[in-house]
Each structure stands twice: as structure tokens, then as C-alpha cells.
Structure 1
Amino acid sequence: MADTDVLDGLVTQLGPYGVRASKLFGKPALKDVEGKAFACLHEGELACRLGQGTRAHAEALEMGDAHLFDPSGTGRPMRDWVSLPAAHASRWAEFASAAMSVPH
């Protein structure tokens, strides 16, 4: 499935909340009504800003192959963001919705 198809599906589900497609780090992303990015597609994974210390953040990291989002690949991950591999695509909308609700 193409990135645009995945993103379009998430926008369709979350669109009633003012979510729109955009870019983050040059990759397809979701932004909230205030224009803040809360999720993006990166190297076949969905990265979501879940907020370190939240239940959603902990639950995402418990999924085994999920990991902190490190867009630069330099070992300096963004602690509030979790990358969810395609193996968990069935839960991407759930975590994108949780990310949308995290205060920025």
C-alpha cells in the first residue's frame, strides 16, 4: 500500500476532528487543527507523538518491535514519539487518534 493511501485512510477516519495531510521531515504526515504534526509515515512505519509517560506511549512500546522515533538515524530519538512498524498497521488509527489528543 502506498504512503498516500495509508495517509488518506487516516485522514478519512480523523478528518472530522480537523486533521489534514501535510509533511514532516519531508514525509507524509498528519496535522491537527492548530497545524501541529502528531503522526508521520517514515520508512514504512507510522511515528506518533504519544507523549512520554502516557499510557498510549507505554502500550505502543510494549508491542515488541515498536521503538522510539529517530528520524535522523543518529541514535537521538524523539522521546515523545513512537514508531509503529507495518506489522501493527491494524492499530495505526488507534495510536494516531491517541497522538492527536496529546497536548503539545
Structure 2
Amino acid sequence: MTPDELFDDIAADLAHRGAISGAMFGKRALKAHGKAFACLKDDRLAFKLGDGTPAHAEALALQGAELFDPSGNHRPFKDWVAVPHTYAAQWPELAEAALSSLTS
């Protein structure tokens, strides 16, 4: 499954919780309550998990994962982790965690 197809599946699965597809920095994003919680850039899906949370630490520990730098100018967002497509099986769980962090 391509990153775009998986993104669409995650959006559909989270729609009942108020998630909608939108854009962030010109990239596809998932939003809820007016705030982005996931953003697709190339073959990585970035999740807003909150710096210092267990979910953030676990995502960042995945090989190839890194803090999300949407501009590519070495100014990463400390609350966001970009997870490569290699870990696509974990994307839905990470999206759930990111969405939950918006509402807690």
C-alpha cells in the first residue's frame, strides 16, 4: 500500500472521531478540532505526539524516524515525529495516539 493510500485509510478510520483531511505546509494532513495531528511528507507520516511523552519516545526510537522538519531548513518541530513508510503498520496506532493527545 502506498503512503497516500494508507493516509486515506487512516483518515477514513478516524473520521468518526472528527478527523478530516486537510493541508499543512502544502502537504496532506489530518486535522481535528481545527488542529493538525498528522502530516504526510514524501514517504513519511509525521505525528504530533508531544515532546516527552511515551508515544513520542517510542516513535522516535524507530529506525529512520526523526523530528519533523516540514521546511527542510533544520528547524524541526519538537512535538512531531516523522515515521518512515517502513513502519506503515504502526501508522494507524500512532495516528490514534496523536489524535487522542489533541483531546486530552
In the superposition, the TM-score normalised over structure 1's length comes to 0.92
1:30 aligned partner: 30
Structure 2: runs of 5+ lacking an equivalent: none
- Deviation (angstroms), 1:54: 0.4
Q: Which amino acid aligns with 1:79?
A: K
Which residues of 2 match residues 85-104 of structure 1 at below 5 A? 85-103=84-102
Q: Is the 8 A contact 1:22 1:31 kept in 2?
A: yes
1:12 aligned partner: 12
- Deviation (angstroms), 1:2: 5.7
Which residues of 2 match residues 38-57 of structure 1 at below 5 A? 38-57=37-56
Q: Is the 8 A contact 1:60 1:82 kept in 2?
A: yes
Q: Which amino acid aligns with 2:93?
A: E
Aligned length: 102
Q: RMSD in angstroms over aligned alpha carbons?
A: 1.3
In the superposition, the TM-score normalised over structure 2's length comes to 0.92
Aligned structure 1 segments of 4 or more residues deviating by more than 6 angstroms: none
Aligned mates of 1:8, 1:87 — CA distance in 2: 17
Q: Which amino acid aligns with 2:17?
A: Y
Structure 1: runs of 5+ lacking an equivalent: none
- Deviation (angstroms), 1:103: 3.7
Q: Is the 8 A contact 1:51 1:81 kept in 2?
A: yes
Q: Which amino acid aligns with 1:25?
A: F
Q: Is the 8 A contact 2:3 2:43 kept in 1?
A: no
Q: Is the 8 A contact 1:7 1:21 kept in 2?
A: no
- Deviation (angstroms), 1:99: 0.5
- Deviation (angstroms), 1:7: 2.2
Identity of aligned residues (%): 48
